């Protein structure tokens, strides 16, 4: 098996553009959650979200291309451009057929879908855009990134709800391990903050309705949690075969050493009892990495701020880690940026890599009233200094999907 490292990071988050803005936000325990500004949300029970501020797609593409992309695809292209630049890969030179793209999305171009449905109903069938379908379909983030940067290798999209980003990175890891590519552009992208998506989640009663204090709404593992907060953005990383990266003198953030993926086979939205699927995914990732629970220094939890997820993830960690569960620092960066759905896994792996680089464990914001059933070390409210040699990133999604990634310092 070929070894796979990460050499570039691109983040588009509610803290703004780039890895530095993202890191400064989570390291300083700030909240990127605000009242929704992109449309009038007054009719909805949930009126808050983690919006990407002041996003200008024209910084990353020409106007013609931007008009033919949904917002989620624009995010993916922007994050990919940032990641490639961070990796020292010249965007003016086509990447060729040994570089691939694997970018996931949970709902794809749902903003375009909503807009075109309104057009159909109000103006008729002949006014629906000819670009409607290629703007809406979830694979277009991967497709457009491939086109924009000339990546002609393995090209795919993973759609597994909130696991989409993590599954994409894990599968891209396997592509390089098998020798089918030397590098992959991978992660997730999502832009779900619109009336249709919000209305659906509000109807399902899964969102926080703490509208009067948006910065305090997302509170993973806290006894007062009342639902997740929707976010948007993209987290993209550049994966490279180790020798390929070393040969060009690339900076290496860490090595992907483990990937575990399972299915609950239980319920469309509720996690399996006792966190069974999540536990098996974590265990599989550890086995794949060839390490034990005692080797893990930090867990970036899925931690959605919903009753069942936070409890069953806690149970799953205890099942896998035993007594070590009470000693390993755990945090949910969703507490600060909201839930980026299909982009969450990419953003949260980036959080792990930056935490490893800065020797600083991000906190879980708004952890104020401990839930007796969630009794682990969630690094409450303030970042904590500490060396991280091995980090685990958890993602779980509707449909019973589970994906876990393990990264390690190259010199660890």
Q: Would you name the residues annotated as active-site residues?
A: 162, 302, 339
Helix-then-strand count for the chain, H and E: 13, 15
Q: What is residue 35's three-state secondary structure? A: strand
Tokens 């992959």 identify what position?
A: 184
Tokens of 76: 């993916």
Burial (0-12, 13-18, 19+ Cβ within 10 Å), 5: buried
Contact criterion met (CB below 8 Å) for 392 and 282: yes
Tokens of 260: 């575990």
In angstroms, rounded to a whole number, what is the distance separating the alpha carbons of residues 4 and 173?
A: 7
Tokens 């990419």 identify what position?
A: 346
How far the first Cα of the chain sits from its last, in Å, is 19
Strands, E assignment, 69-158? 99-104, 155-156
Contact criterion met (CB below 8 Å) for 379 and 350: no
Contact criterion met (CB below 8 Å) for 289 and 393: no
Burial (0-12, 13-18, 19+ Cβ within 10 Å), 362: buried
In angstroms, rounded to a whole number, what is the distance separating the alpha carbons of residues 380 and 27?
A: 12
Q: Classify the C-alpha dihedral 381-383-385-391 as positive or negative.
A: positive
In angstroms, rounded to a whole number, what is the distance separating the alpha carbons of residues 217 and 134?
A: 35
How many CB atoms within 10 Å of residue 156?
17
In angstroms, rounded to a whole number, what is the distance separating the alpha carbons of residues 35 and 30?
A: 15
């Amino acid at each position: 098996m070929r070894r796979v490292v990460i050499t570039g990071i691109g983040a588009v988050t509610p803290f703004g553009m780039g890895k530095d803005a993202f890191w400064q936000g989570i390291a300083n325990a700030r909240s990127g959650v605000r009242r929704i500004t992109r449309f009038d949300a007054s009719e909805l029970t949930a009126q808050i979200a983690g919006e990407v501020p002041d996003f200008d797609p024209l910084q990353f593409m020409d106007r013609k291309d931007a008009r033919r992309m949904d917002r989620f695809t624009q995010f993916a292209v922007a994050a990919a451009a940032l990641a490639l630049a961070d990796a020292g890969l010249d965007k003016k030179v086509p990447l060729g057929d040994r570089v691939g793209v694997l970018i996931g999305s949970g709902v794809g171009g749902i903003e375009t879908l909503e807009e075109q449905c309104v057009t159909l109903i109000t103006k008729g069938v002949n006014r629906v855009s000819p670009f409607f379908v290629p703007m809406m379909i979830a694979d277009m983030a991967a497709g457009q990134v491939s086109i924009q940067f000339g990546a002609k290798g393995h090209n795919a999209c993973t759609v597994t709800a909130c696991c989409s980003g993590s599954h994409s990175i894990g599968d891209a890891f396997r592509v390089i391990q098998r020798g089918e590519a030397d590098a992959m552009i991978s992660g997730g992208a999502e832009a779900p903050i619109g009336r249709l998506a919000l209305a659906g989640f509000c109807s399902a009663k899964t969102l926080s309705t703490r509208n009067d204090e948006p910065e305090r709404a997302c509170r993973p593992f806290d006894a007062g949690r009342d639902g997740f907060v929707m976010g948007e953005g993209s987290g993209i990383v550049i994966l490279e075969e180790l020798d390929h990266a070393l040969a060009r003198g690339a900076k290496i953030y860490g090595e992907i050493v483990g990937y575990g993926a399972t299915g609950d086979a239980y319920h469309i939205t509720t996690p399996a009892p006792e966190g069974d699927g999540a536990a098996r995914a974590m265990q599989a990732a550890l086995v794949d990495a060839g390490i034990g629970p005692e080797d893990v220094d930090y867990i970036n939890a899925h931690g959605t701020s919903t009753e069942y997820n936070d409890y069953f993830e806690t149970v799953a960690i205890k099942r896998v880690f035993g007594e070590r569960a009470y000693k390993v620092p755990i945090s949910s960066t969703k507490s600060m940026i909201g839930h980026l759905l299909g982009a969450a896994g990419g953003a949260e792996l980036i959080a792990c890599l930056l935490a490893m680089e800065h020797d600083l464990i991000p906190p879980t914001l708004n952890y104020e009233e401990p839930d007796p059933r969630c009794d682990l070390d969630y690094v409450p409210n303030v970042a904590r200094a500490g060396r991280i040699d091995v980090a685990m990133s958890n993602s779980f999604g509707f449909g019973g999907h589970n994906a876990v990634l393990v990264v390690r310092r190259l010199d660890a």
